[in-house]
Structure 1
Amino acid sequence: MATARAERLVNLVLCLLSTRQYLTAERIRVIVPGYADAATDEAFFRMFERDKTELRDLGVPLEVGRTGAFDATDGYRIARRDYELGDIDLEPDEAAAVALAARLWDSPQLTGAAHGALIKLRAAGVDVDQDVHVGVEPKVRTSEPAFPPLLAAVQEGRVVEFDYRRPVPVEVRGRTVEPWGVVAWRGRWYLVGHDRDRNAPRCFRLSRIVGAVRAAGRAGEVRRPEQVDLLSFVARSQPAADQPPATAKLWVAQGRGQGLRRRARVTGRQEFDGELGDVLEVDLRFPDSAATWIAGFGADVVVLEPEVLAKTVREKLLGALRGTGVRA
């Protein structure tokens, strides 16, 4: 439902941005995909009022007026002069940040539904601006299976329940959370919200959520506090960048793991399962996130210390085996 609503809002923006005329609610109902699903006139007008409110909350400048003196009903449009940004000059680091953000979008073309909306506009005799172009579709790519249900819960204002794996000590516990938002920080996705089990605000890394996310309670039950900056909250909750790095001790097979060796120090020699290799020490500022990197070396690298990192790497390797259908 959240995806259908988002697509309807995009179609509505395209419709109102692509015309110089004021379009009445009834005409919008015929043109914009999604409104035809309304069973009654009353249901349509409730849906349309909610969509107008949401667009205004997002900062979309809706204009209300009449195209001609003989029009009996007010209509709507979006003035491109108010909607479009002016020229923007970005510094190199700012441009890099924008490029990274752009990678979140799934496709540089219009969706089929949005393209169909433009065709319907022209077929209905609406004066369509031929120069209008929307280059993105609001569909975010992420490999975390928990992302779609959490995003839907945030949009609907619903409580969620899920099992969460803690790294220290390694354990899985159930969590009941009032979700405020999902944000990306340092290449990771986090849920921020009120943890009912701890009765305090908390953030949760999506990659540590085990199993399915379950929605609970009524829609609209959760509201995000206005004073909370989600990204700052996540940053404050993570280890400080100036903390001294943790040292991990690894066994590396002889002649293997060259990428790891370039960042590590050889401290000795040792046999592991009858195979001779080197004992290395490597400094890791974020040991938990390094587990994926270390697991990529497979059987050529074994974590000796710390035990938490060793367990995390083993979990990732077992997960990879299960994904291939091979039994460990």
Structure 2
Amino acid sequence: MSTARAERLVNLVLCLMSTRQFLPAERIRATVPGYAEAPNDDAFFRMFERDKSELRELGVPLETGRTSVFDAADGYRIARADYELGEIALDPDEATAVALAGNLWDSPELAGAAHGALVKLRAAGVEVADSPAAAVRPGAQAGEPALAPLLSACRDGKVVTFEHRRGPADPPAQRTVEPWGVVSFRGRWYLVGHDRDRDDVRCFRLSRIRGAVRTTGRPGAVTVPDDVDLRALVRESAGPPPVTGTARVWVAQDRAAGLRRIGREQGPREHGGRAGVEVEFDVRDRGVLARWLAGHGPDVAVLEPESLRDAVRALWAAAAGVPVETLPVETRS
């Protein structure tokens, strides 16, 4: 539809909603901008008939009738009661959820639509909460460049291709995916779908997609399985790795509070003449745990396992730029 025709249809709707009487075609021609450009009567009536058909196809309740028995021809109007939305009432928790959803779509592509939706709700008299809870933004941000095209591809059921890094240090690889949905998990966005290259279900972190997302094939080519649980698939793929063991760590008294919160305190214990507490940790990724511990320097000491102790000592030595053997004895126990 051309811009001129779209503007003419909007003006026609506004005109017919602004009157309680049935407006005859000639009066509409003189009132609505765009119809004056018709070179003759036949051109106007053809234009007007097309516009009436378009409005009815869009679901606009266009009424035809005569205001009085003295009218020589039928007129047209749109009854507000049939066209406007019914009254919308939101509970406090629903209003907060709407405001949170509006805050979520903060990308340039989606911010305008989200803001417009909130404005329309408020203009209709709906209380959209501006409470402190609504002011807290959700963890997942909509600023990923791939988010909008992937949402569109999921809606249209079209296959997508893009370049994706499996890890931060891995080179990008081309992927062809049948998209099933986009899921927010722990502050990040993930695409879930059938990877045609691997012939298997896969999850892709949007922040690792490089370049443009391209669609291929016809709309409706992708069929989402009825029993698929997108969040469960993402949780299984992007969730924490399984526990492979436990570690016992000494933590100095009144230090490293964050470490103590994620571990399990086993009771007071001295180490090297300093008071502290013994804390037990689940080992999922030894490298990650070693970095957490190494950042606290002499306020922690790995009691076991020895492999974790060696990993922490290696990080300290690398930070100091010295061989591990040259570290003081107290840092090696």
Tell me whether the two structures share a fold, i.e. TM-score over 0.5.
no
- Structure number, greater radius of gyration: 2
Give TM class, smaller chain.
0.3 to 0.5
Report the TM-score, using the length of structure 1 for normalisation.
Answer: 0.44
